[in-house]
Amino acid sequence: MFRRSWNRFCAGEEKRVGTRTVFVGNHPISETEAYIAQRFCDNRIVSSKYTLWNFLPKNLFEQFRRIANFYFLIIFLVQVTVDTPTSPVTSGLPLFFVITVTAIKQGYEDWLRHRADNEVNKSTVNIIENAKRVKKECEKIKVGDVVEVQADETFPCDLILLSSCTSDGTCYVTTASLDGESNCKTHYAVRDTIALCTAESIDTLRAAIECEQPQPDLYKFVGRINIYSNSLEAVARSLGPENLLLKGATLKSTRKIYGVAVYTGMETKMALNYQGKSQKRSAVEKSINTFLIVYLFILLTKAAVCTTLKYVWQSYPYNDEPWYNQKTQKERETLKVLKMFTDFLSFMVLFNFIIPVSMYVTVEMQKFLGSFFISWDKDFYDEEIKEGALVNTSDLNEELGQVDYVFTDKTGTLTENSMEFIECCIDGHKYNGVTEEVDGLSRTDGPLTHFDKADKNKEELFLRALCLCHTVEIKTNDAVDGATESTELTYVSSSPDEIALVKGAKKYGFTFLGTRNDCMRVENQRKEIEEYELLHTLNFDPVRRRMSVIVKDQKGDIYLFCKGADSAIFPRIQIPEPESTKLRNAIDSTKQHVERSAMNGYRTLGVAFKNIAPDDYERINRQLIEAKMALQDREEKMEEVLDDIETNMNLIGATAVEDKLQDQAAETIEALHAAGLKVWVLTGDKMETAKSTCYACRLFQTSTELLELTTKTIKECERKDRLHELLIEYRKKLLREFPKSTKRNCKKRAWTDQEYGLIIDGATLSLILNSSQECGSSNYKSIFLQICMKCTAVLCCRMAPLQKAQIVRMVKNLKGSPITLSIGDGANDVSMILESHVGIGIKGKEGRQAARNSDYSVPKFKHLKKLLLAHGHLYYVRIAHLVQYFFYKNLCFILPQFLYQFFCGFSQQVYGNWTFGTIVFTVLVFTVTLKLALDTRFWTWINHFVIWGSLAFYVFFSFFWGGIIWPFLKQQRMYFVFAQMLSSVSTWLAIVFLIFISLFPEILLIVLKTVRRRSARNLNLELPMLLSYKHIDSGYS
């Protein structure tokens, strides 16, 4: 809301929709035309929440939205306006303290945000004006300004790259501050501006950029640049994400670049991603509000009872106006209804401390300080990345101990996401080789091991495809200019799969040497350098699940090389003629190889190619340029063109890459199962690969009977009918096995029951979730949920990110509202992390998007075991005791006051004065404090200091307060009362006896529990070693 208001204030064209036009350097296209400067948002970053003038009203409004704070404000106003038995100070002072402490905390945090904003806004940048470099403050950058950025500097706004110090107009950028990816990414300038690499030449550029309005997607940008020459003939070039340099990213391995500002300030993609996640509230916090409502009802009941009994008592004349307390004339003339209402309010004030005003602050402090135990835990420290656990929110600490369902990604979460090329299949023939690692590079150790052998030309074509079909860049580790091919090369890519494939080709003798002037260079097995002109790169996207390149060799032949998921490649293979038996056998053998590799747990990709005739390329090139130049619906148009290009291809082979299981992943899942948690795996991988991983990590046991709801088990024809049959069949089977079982008899069944696991893919899930509109299929979802609840584990494969979130939401809405937890490491896991009650991010190799959007982040999946079963359990125990103790304490202090009204004629007197009240109050203080000592499980010096120090302070303060005549008090009711009280033996006996009687039930319960625990320990029961006991107390039904 604040950002929208800010944008409305600073943006001059509120009605702008669709696209914006930016003039490079804010120069007019023609000197004869009048130039009207456009108004855009300035480059100030505002991440703060308050300003000096709105801090007080805004902060007070937010604090009084809490039930307890608003309640005590009402009580304070009643005490001020109505004659009540207690002073307004008794509720006003605690409320003022709580509000002040919270305001100071929030104000300090916002001041830190203001300071951070000023550091960014006041930093100096270089702007090109009138062919000169001018230093300005960052906040003074305007849209259209040409900015010069030096090496290792961060980009001050979103820029379109115009030129760099390199001859090909490229630069390297790291986006760790945006998405956590530390890999260098390559960005490009359009070919018409790469020569403008000085301040004088860049100032001569006359161009206009048309692009989309600001939107938060970091990986999407649509635009075009129109470059005008002296003849005013515009040359149009398309612009995409590869041309956009984002604010917050850092320039690396490039001396300097020139870029034009297109988005500034709060319209940059980084600022648009500031929008907070939806506020998650823990179950304990919700129960606190329930407690408050219950205790508020108790308060109203007490006030109503006392008000009623007061007027019953005063129905007798001698009780209504005794001789020692005569009414005034004004009191006699007051309406009885009004008097009853004021008495009711007075009783509410008298009993108001049943609602704990300081509980919210105490709970927040407990959560905040308790979160440091996670950050300080050395078991969470990972030597590989040199990082430990991170707590992004402390509001959900206790929620970690109540999780019922765990939803986990596979790649990078259960596995390492460290890819290693294992084997390949070329033209139906299987190849694998033994490699030796030397200084991080792979080389062939002897001849290739193969089963039969493909044609030599097919082998080389396959390896060329691996060397050409990728987005890998070369980082040269040699500082000497003019590095040769012998220089040590480091492969850089945002995808570890691609690096593994390029290294796999290197293992077989084909080495990718990098791209120079749009030419990809490859060293073949004969040590010859082959050059291919890169015509187009058709990038990977999760919908197509493949990527392609179009290249031209030195002979002028044009090829399309494509790699992707087997389900995205095989349907696009050219169907061989019936008489082409050899070709059909090769395709069938490759499919079998892919299935076997997937069953072994490997990640597989299909590789294909096709020749493109020059005439066809002219058509393809024209279509691609038209689609890339579109400002509206560019993605849809590109999808249509790519769908037409990537057809009728020839299959070359397939690859198998291993993603190793993470350390202790299997032990962690077993521990979660033993604790009663259900684990679901949600992955985009194919079923065979995911199933193999689930067996390896012991999600599925060898004895587990798997129920499949996939496209393989559901025939293409009449899929709805077959799906309905399977759902009914599986439900009947599980209901026969588990007839309406409960947790009570679950222990008895756990030793003998058959385990069931469910496997479902994305296509079948779509049928189930989207079937509610059809009357005959309206119960698909409910039947599916019944099946899931009866299974010990569930595997969902071929899942899109949105489907992952749908699965989590579906389980969240189950009867009983189970607590859900999602854990993942990639950007495709963010949706389910945000959807679940608790989101855990893995600091993995797919970037830090998941970690940045999570509530907690840990280096490895194995850390989930201690996070939930140790920290989560203890957090829940602590917060539960704290909340219950608060309400117990307040109830103890209010109950005697309520009972005292029966002895004072419901006159709203306070028992706290003089000897009787002091005795009662002393008994209460010692009782509730010793109750806390009895509930303490582990004693430290802090416990001793707080508990015994509190009692000592009470005694000291009572002596001090009653031993001095205070000049600012009108009445000295407590003067020397405490000292006189303790001089009486009967008082001592009464205090000790009352404390003992109050705590006797608690002491008796502790003794009985201790005796029972010791007797159980003496039985020395041992579980059979050969039987699995992981289901005990699991609650599976």
Q: Any idea which residues carry the catalytic annotation? A: 409
Structure tokens at 453: 């052998």
Q: DSSP for 569-635?
A: HGGGBPPPPTT-HHHHHHHHHHHHHHHHHHHTTEEEEEEEEEEE-HHHHHHHHHHHHHHHH-SSSHH
- 3-state SS, residue 320: helix
Classify residue 18 by burial, with Cβ atoms within 10 Å: 0-12, 13-18, 19+. exposed
Measured between alpha carbons, how far is 499 from 502 in angstroms, rounded to an integer?
5
SS (H, E, C) 428-460: CEEEECCEEEECCEEEECCCCEEECCCCHHHHH
Q: DSSP for 445-498?
A: -SSPEEES---HHHHHHHHHHHHHSS--EEEE---SSS--TTS-EEEE-S-HHH
Count Cβ atoms below 10 Å from residue 171 Cβ, excluding itself: 27
Decide if 371 contacts 391 (C-beta within 8 A).
yes
Task: Name, in order, each residue with C-beta under 8 angstroms of 352's C-beta and a sequence gap of 6 or more.
Answer: 71, 72, 75, 91, 299
Decide if 897 contacts 350 (C-beta within 8 A).
yes
Structure tokens at 903: 């002895």
Give the torsion through C-alpha atoms of 290, 808, 635, 4, to 10 deg: 10
Classify residue 176 by burial, with Cβ atoms within 10 Å: 0-12, 13-18, 19+. middle
Measured between alpha carbons, how far is 710 from 669 in angstroms, rounded to an integer?
24
Element (DSSP H or E) covering residue 266:
none
- 3-state SS, residue 293: helix
Measured between alpha carbons, how far is 74 from 574 in angstroms, rounded to an integer?
78
Which residue shows structure tokens 């993609």? 269
Measured between alpha carbons, how far is 536 from 514 in angstroms, rounded to an integer?
16
Length of the chain as a residue count: 1037
307 phi and psi angles, rounded to 5 deg: -65, -45
DSSP tag of 555: T
Q: DSSP for 137-180?
A: EGGG--TT-EEEEETTPBPSSEEEEEEESSTT-EEEEEEHHHH-
Relative to beta strand 756-761, strand 705-709 is parallel
